[in-house]
Amino acid sequence: MATPSGEYFHHQTVRIVKNGQTTFTVIEKDETTNGLLIQRTNSGTPAAKCNGEVFTRADLMKYKEAPFWSRFRMCLLLLLWVAIFGLTGGAVYLVASSGRACAEENWATGWWRNSLMYQINVRTFQDSDSDGIGDLAGVRSRLDYLQSIKVETIVLNPIFMGVHGNSFAVTDFSNIDPQIGTLQDFNELVADVHARNMTIVIDFVVTHTAREHAWFPPSEMATPAFSADVIQTRDFYVWHDGVWDTSELDYQGRTIPGPPNSWKTRDDGRSTAWTWSGTRKQYHLHHLSNALPTLNYASETLKNVMDDVLRFWLRRGVDGFRVLTVKDIFPGPSKYIANLSDPALPVETTALLKRWRGIMDTPSSGGRSGIHKVLIVDGEGVSISQLGIFGVDLVVNANLMKWNSTVKNPGQHIAALIDSALKTATHRNPVSWAVGNYDEHRAASRVGSLELVDAVNIIYMLLPGTVMAFYGDELGLKDAAQSSPRDRNYPADGPQITPMLWTLDALAGFTNSSNGPWISIPKPHQRSDVQSQLQTRRSHLKVFQQLAELRKTSAMRNAAYRAGVVGETVFSFVRQLKWGSGYLILVDLRKNGLLESHPREYSLSSAQLKGTGVLALGSVSLYNTKNGGPNPLAKQNATVDLSGSIVLRESEAVVIRFPA
């Protein structure tokens, strides 16, 4: 039924009692008045009936305009908008925080955090084509061995094309040195590594090139590029006018300005780090020899080119990069040279690392999907916490390389080295431990006794964090007394760079070349090769395998660390889970006696443990039958009173498992 005003009503007959009189009337429900009952008055104007009173539309409008109800409606409207904005903001926060949570989870459970990484110098690992030089195909042929010792990540020392096969003297960042293979060989190696659920990282030489690199001649000539397609390289290296306050004579007797400062090269610490160019009439910086000019990352063009180098190798499937000599990346703009002795990294360096982190995280950069690309840097003099906020995943800690045979009180020395390293670790940046690398003497030679090899491996393999092993350390390889290389074009870098020993034969299974290997095989190498150590009941290699197995257990990966028994010749630590079970690691750091052993009793009270422990594994020296036979702990299921003491001979090391 339509009313004169065009409003629609639903008819309803109701009984009204007023002043004792009962009447019936027809009232209607007006949908425009929120369900109030409306009584038709004589004038035809609807009226609301509430508590026996009749209200006209005019009465209702008065209530509508009342200040209280206006404020009430405004409050409701405000609450509505607050709710809308709150829900929207909450949704945005949840999306963002879920991304952060994923990132935090990635940091907390990342594949690299407890990984066993294994550094390989390709040229000395395995020769596959009988030319006497190790190659990528040779590495590929030894993947079964690497899996057998539980290696999870392969770290290849520099593989770029370089001068005379020296990949540190780079001539092409986007190619493989032809002496070790081709890009196709690299692709096949990466595919095989990934098929085995392993990862592969390459060393990234970023601070310098060889003078023979195509960039250097036009830079020295200060030649502008004549085409937009030609890279402008005149500022790719650090050049400086020098200072006339200390003028000197060049090789032709002409007066030239002196070097900008007194910096010395890192290789010998004596030679100047600046070389005068008579062509450009400026000095160029070189942290190493003058054949390796330092790159200038103040050049945006250079940074763009190196960005593309990263993308090139990401598309090839690498799972990360280890940036070498990170402290030398940014000495500063050539006219404002910074102080290289400053332990803190310049902000330009951290910004560059953050830039590379962004490239590695960008899917469009290509490469293997679904896996975080790891960014590793050398750790000497570098703050882990400083780099962590710029996207660096691991900082390789070289503290344990300071442990050598000349150290007095080695137990306390090692404890201090480990403590200082762990203090710099963060949730995002665990410590990465190494006891050997391309530049340092091998651990078996440094510590002064082959019998201490197991002690070295037991300590650094069972510390919390990532392990960066150097090829051959699992065998106890020592520095080699090298003769001159077969070919002077392939200079040896040091006695630690020796062919991997695979078998007992004269060429150690490294090569079948009729001319022999490019560098001498260590002699004698009996019992140091893989084959012999696998066939022996107890060997350094088998201890390493046991340690690698133990590292993979959740008990070891999640256990907290604390120092245990520490003394002049003993070092120990405890790895313990929250619910109480764990491991006590204890090593005697004395060199093995030649004629007789000298057992020494060590109190375990400072380890703060109770109950009984069981021998989980021991060093080879523990089972040595010389000098009175094996240690009583060497018997099967040997137990140790954790609140008492333990007796060890020289160079012996034990891992004791204890329950909660």
DSSP assignment of 404-438 equals -TT-SSHHHHHHHHHHHHHHH--SSS-EEE-S--T
Residue with tokens 């005149």: 234
Which strand ranges, in their side-by-side order, compose the sheet holding 46-50? 9-18, 21-30, 37-40, 46-50, 53-56
Q: Tokens representing 456?
A: 């070295």
Distance CA(484)–CA(489), nearest Å, equals 11
Residues 326 and 378: beta-carbon distance below 8 Å:
yes
Residues 543 and 475: beta-carbon distance below 8 Å:
no
Residue with tokens 């020289």: 650
The helix (run of H) or strand (run of E) holding residue 239 is: strand 239-240
Q: How far, in Å, are 25, 97, 288, 602 from residue 100 at the CA level?
A: 69, 5, 42, 48
Contacts of 243 (CB under 8 A, 6+ apart): 257, 258, 259, 260
Q: Tokens representing 94?
A: 């949840």
Residues 633 and 622: beta-carbon distance below 8 Å:
yes
Residue 653 φ/ψ, nearest 5 degrees: -140, 140
- Please give the radius of gyration of the chain, using alpha carbons only, rounded to the nearest integer: 37
SS3 content of the chain, % helix, strand, coil (to 5): 30, 25, 45
Three-class HEC string of 435-469? CCCCCCCCHHHHCCCHHHHHHHHHHHHCCCCEEEE
pLDDT of residue 357: 94
pLDDT of residue 88: 74
Q: Which amino acid is at 656?
A: I
pTM for this entry: 0.81
pLDDT of residue 632: 86
Grouped pLDDT means (10 residues each) for the chain, 660 residues: 42 50 50 46 48 56 67 79 77 48 49 93 96 97 98 97 90 96 98 97 96 94 62 88 77 79 83 91 92 94 96 96 88 45 71 94 82 86 68 88 88 92 76 89 88 95 94 92 52 78 93 91 80 94 97 88 92 92 95 72 92 94 77 86 93 94
Q: Tokens representing 198?
A: 């392993």
Q: Tokens representing 620?
A: 């080879």
pLDDT of residue 550: 96
Distance CA(406)–CA(446), nearest Å, equals 9
CA 384, 426, 113, 583 torsion-angle sign = positive
pLDDT of residue 233: 87
Residues 377 and 322: beta-carbon distance below 8 Å:
yes
